[in-house]
Amino acid sequence: MNSARPQKLSTRARLGIGLTVFAVALAATLWQIDRQLYQGPRGGDFTLESKTGKRRLSDIQDGRPAVLYFGFTSCPDVCPMSLHKLAQALKLLSLEEREKISVVFVSVDHQRDTASKTQTYVEAFIPGGVGLTGSKAEIDAVVNQYGATYVIEPDAKSALGYGVQHTTSFFLVNRSHRLVTRVPEQMKVEDLAMSLKSLL
């Protein structure tokens, strides 16, 4: 009586099983690496003062992705250049695409920037953009939430008596108010436009 012998797998079958095991292991490893490397801010919803009163980011977005920029209306150079670049990038999108992206400018200068002044400032560059501000505590909470930075320091050369150093990146936020990525202000207009399109 012949005992049954286990059949040997073909080379193709063994290769297929090996690749499957490798793919599963690789996916698990990458997930663990991503989890370990990205422990930074993830954004989220918040409420600040607008020209029309308190507004939540989620209400401004209304189901759309958004681009956030932290700055101040008395900024002599970086903010105007950044907002101009953002406006140029938005113009490279179709009208339909532009209407699907909310633009939010958050002033970090609570001493000088009222909500009305902030709104007028952002609309000078981007019609339809929303300007927000608040108390120092409210602004700090949002700044920390998104991993931005700013420092208000005395400046004897300034007629205002102080200056503001701040993060110059664009913060791209998805429809769920989650921070997707930070885009450096130095990025070319065409590349910034592609980054905005990736949100849609």
The predicted model scores a pTM of 0.78
Q: For residue 145, give the CATH number of its domain.
A: 3.40.30.10
Q: Is residue 61 part of a domain?
A: yes
In this structure, the answer to whether residues 30 and 115 fall within a common structural domain is: no
In this structure, the answer to whether residues 65 and 159 fall within a common structural domain is: yes
In this structure, the answer to whether residues 103 and 148 fall within a common structural domain is: yes
Residue range of the domain that includes 34: 9-39
Mean pLDDT of the region 97-101: 97
Q: Which of 104, 175, 158, 166 is nearest to 140 (CA)?
A: 166
Q: Is residue 127 part of a domain?
A: yes
Q: Is residue 14 part of a domain?
A: yes
Task: Quote the CA–CA distance of 85 and 155 in Å, as a whole number.
Answer: 27
Q: Which of 86, 90, 93, 57 is nearest to 179 (CA)?
A: 57
Q: Which of 109, 105, 108 is nearest to 120 (CA)?
A: 105
**pLDDT at position 168 over 70:** yes
Among 2-6, 47-51, 140-144, which stretch is predicted with the lowest mean pLDDT? 2-6
How many Cβ atoms from other residues are within 10 Å of residue 11's Cβ? Answer: 8
Q: Which of 142, 140, 165, 145 is nearest to 153 (CA)?
A: 165
In this structure, the answer to whether residues 31 and 105 fall within a common structural domain is: no
In this structure, the answer to whether residues 79 and 177 fall within a common structural domain is: yes
pLDDT at site 179: 96
Asked if 38 and 46 touch (Cβ cutoff 8 Å), the reply is: no
Mean pLDDT of the region 171-177: 96
Q: Per 3-state DSSP, what percentage of the chain is helix, strand, and coil (rounded to 5)? A: 40, 20, 35
Q: Is residue 94 part of a domain?
A: yes
In this structure, the answer to whether residues 114 and 81 fall within a common structural domain is: yes
Percent of the chain exceeding pLDDT 70 equals 78
**pLDDT at position 23 over 90:** no
Structural domains in the chain (count): 2
In this structure, the answer to whether residues 29 and 74 fall within a common structural domain is: no
Structure tokens at 47: 């409420």
Mean pLDDT of the region 19-33: 44
Q: Is residue 72 part of a domain?
A: yes
Provide the pLDDT confidence category of residue 162 given band limits of 50, 70 and 90: confident
In this structure, the answer to whether residues 83 and 17 fall within a common structural domain is: no
Mean pLDDT of the region 151-157: 81
